Structure 1
Amino acid sequence: METEMNYQSWLDQIEAFVSAQLSPYAERLAYHNLNHTRSVVTNATRIAAHYQLSDADRFVVLSASWFHDLGYINGDPSGHEQRGALIFKEFANPLLIEDNLIAGVIGCILATTLPQKAVNLLESIVCDADLYHFGTTEFTQKDALMLEETQHRLKTDIPLINWLNGSLRLLQSHQFCTQHCHHELASQKQANIRELEARIEADL
């Protein structure tokens, strides 16, 4: 019970820390903001419940979900996973979190690097939690936020047809890592692909 309380205490501290870190960047990060991070944590919680994870494994998955995009606050998209992992390690060490848990969280964060390379169930859950919207009706809205963030970062307008073609290639090349998400989300992902194809055709 004491260990279980430690996990929840650590998660509460993690939520407070990440929320405080991301809040000032709401304007610059239209997509990779606190709302996205919270949704990934929610998705990860849902998938973890399906797989009936132990308290330790659930802690690893949720911690990685909180930190997976925190590297966006101090650099470009490239390498943000490594920076997020480093921020987590610096945060975790004073809390005396066990080394094997820290290693598990870092592995899950790094696995979300595109193209995703999950090698175990925990990494697979975090990867699917991150890109969960690929298989939901929220995809179009979230893709538009990603476009907004990218244009803000590059300080230039991106032709919509170019963006839609890139989004289509991304969806077509993506595979959900867990059987659960493949079963639950693959159908809507195919619908999102068809919608992208229709928008591209209409714009030509």
Structure 2
Amino acid sequence: MKNNNPVLKSASTYVFELLKEKLSGDYVFHNYQHTVETVKACKELSVAYDLTSRDFEILMLAAWFHDTGYTRAYEGHEEHSIQILKDYLEGEYKLEDIAEIESLILSTKYGHVPDGTLQEILHDADYINLGKKKASQRGELLRIEWEKILGKKYSNIEWAELQLDFILNTTFKTEEAIKTYDERRQQNIREQYDIIDQLKKDETKYLSKLNKGAGEKSPKLGRGIETLYRTIYSYHINLSSIADNKAHIMININTIIISLIITLFGSGYTFSSSNQELFTSIRFVFPMGFLLISSLLSVVFAILSARPNINAQEDYDIKSDTSSVLFFGNFTQLKLKEFVGKIKELKSEQDGLYDSMSVDVYHLGGVLIKKYKLLRWSYNIFMIGLIICAVGFITIVIISMSSGG
């Protein structure tokens, strides 16, 4: 009767069709194969117990339907499994028997302590893979299922430790399961320990190799820093060269203007009375004089900008963090042995070398700021002088024309 039960045959067909049609392919652990393994384990374990036909049928129906709720939800699937069972058995099964199947399905919740022989058999059957070979491989399927459906991700070590805790905390309840499968379960625990140890060793080797690789790549880091400083030095030198060129332009222009004005003034006052057409009125002397003064000031600021600036400390302190031995204005204050010794220290201490170069760059920036400030004054004075001179000339001409001569 137990082996040819038409109710169980019909239930098995129904569950197969249900899972085939409605269970997502992401369920790689809680699928039809797991259900069949649970049903098979229930049959094997129940042989050792003198179950009635009614108890056997109730146990098998609970085994067939206990995971059908996964077709509707992951969390709380047991309640959905019960509802699917009730819908299937509606009007064809005693309510008291349905209630007992319901209690059996609810007993498969993780952490529930089984009560009675039937619940213990179903519990052990549901976790039978813990007492078989390749338990860790089956566990990997559960890991994939959690990642796909629940979005839970674990590192290899985290998952191995989680699996170990699960095997340690999940024990078989029936005497038959303990006698048949517990020895293999204990072997799986030892193997899981070995897996964790190997993973930790592999991680240690990887980290060691990573650190070693980082050490080997340090010269590349040094070359990168050298490129940085080389670029900064080149940038500052180019800016200084641009400032000097602009200063030379202002010096040339203003010296020419100064020379012309002086020549014109000198020749104008040495001409005879017949040559007074060059200066028809002394009023033109004022704008010309203002242009002369502005050009003179402009050329002075341009010369100050282009003038070499050593920017050295009067008493160079070899231990000071604000001084750089690389700057000639500083190291020429040292004796030869002191200078050579300081350079040797910089060669052996990379951080000290870079710090010294940073100080040097900082002082170069200070020189550039002074250059461009003086140059800006030179350009502004020159521009203002030209504007006032031109406005003065135009004003005098207009006044002269309006007064008739």
TM-score, structure 1 as length reference? 0.91
Matched, 1:142 2:138: yes
**Aligned-residue offset at 1:89:** 1.5
The Cα offsets for residues 26-73 of structure 1, whole Å up to 9 and x where unpaired, read as 622101000110111000011112213111011011101011111111
Measured in 2, the distance between the counterparts of 1:29 and 1:146 equals 8
After superposition, residues 123-162 of structure 1 pair within 5 angstroms as 123-155=119-151, 157-162=153-158
Matched, 1:89 2:59: no
Matched, 1:11 2:27: no
The Cα offsets for residues 98-128 of structure 1, whole Å up to 9 and x where unpaired, read as 1222112111111110113211101111111
Q: Secondary structure at the match of 2:142?
A: helix
Please provide the CA RMSD for this pair: 1.7
- In structure 2, the residue matched to 1:59 is 57
Q: Which one-letter code corresponds to 1:52 in the other structure?
A: D
- In structure 1, the residue matched to 2:17 is 20
Q: Secondary structure at the match of 2:26?
A: coil
Measured in 1, the distance between the counterparts of 2:113 and 2:153 equals 31
- Which structure exhibits the higher relative contact order, with contacts defined as CA atoms closer than 8 Å and separated by 6 or more residues? 1
- In structure 2, the residue matched to 1:165 is 161
Q: Which one-letter code corresponds to 2:17 in the other structure?
A: A
Q: 1:156 to 1:132 in 2, by over 3 A?
A: closer
- Contact 1:26–1:34 at 8 Å: present in 2 too? no
- Contact 2:42–2:122 at 8 Å: present in 1 too? yes
Q: Secondary structure at the match of 2:158?
A: helix
Q: Which moved more, 1:17-26 or 1:104-113?
A: 17-26
Measured in 2, the distance between the counterparts of 1:170 and 1:116 equals 14
Rg larger for: 2
Q: Which one-letter code corresponds to 1:32 in the other structure?
A: H
- Contact 2:124–2:172 at 8 Å: present in 1 too? yes
- Contact 2:15–2:64 at 8 Å: present in 1 too? yes
- In structure 2, the residue matched to 1:104 is 100
Measured in 1, the distance between the counterparts of 2:152 and 2:94 equals 45
Measured in 2, the distance between the counterparts of 1:190 and 1:140 equals 13
Measured in 2, the distance between the counterparts of 1:59 and 1:178 equals 19
Q: Which one-letter code corresponds to 1:178 in the other structure?
A: T
- In structure 2, the residue matched to 1:32 is 30
Q: Which one-letter code corresponds to 2:42 in the other structure?
A: A
- Contact 1:116–1:127 at 8 Å: present in 2 too? no
**Long gaps (5+) in structure 1:** none
Matched, 1:176 2:144: no
Q: Secondary structure at the match of 1:50?
A: coil
Measured in 1, the distance between the counterparts of 2:101 and 2:7 equals 13
Q: Percent identity?
A: 25
- Contact 2:24–2:71 at 8 Å: present in 1 too? no
Aligned equivalent of 1:203, options 188, 191, 199: 199
Measured in 1, the distance between the counterparts of 2:152 and 2:61 equals 34
TM-score, structure 2 as length reference? 0.47
**Aligned-residue offset at 1:146:** 0.9
Measured in 2, the distance between the counterparts of 1:185 and 1:162 equals 26
Measured in 2, the distance between the counterparts of 1:156 and 1:41 equals 29
Aligned residues: 198
Q: 1:138 to 1:55 in 2, by over 3 A?
A: farther
**Aligned-residue offset at 1:157:** 4.1
Matched, 1:190 2:186: yes
**Long gaps (5+) in structure 2:** 201-405
Q: Which one-letter code corresponds to 1:56 in the other structure?
A: R
Q: Secondary structure at the match of 1:109?
A: helix
- In structure 2, the residue matched to 1:74 is 72
Q: Which one-letter code corresponds to 2:60 in the other structure?
A: L
- 4+ runs deviating over 6 angstroms: none
Q: Which moved more, 1:60-69 or 1:98-107?
A: 98-107
Q: 1:87 to 1:74 in 2, by over 3 A?
A: same
**Aligned-residue offset at 1:87:** 1.2
**Aligned-residue offset at 1:158:** 2.5
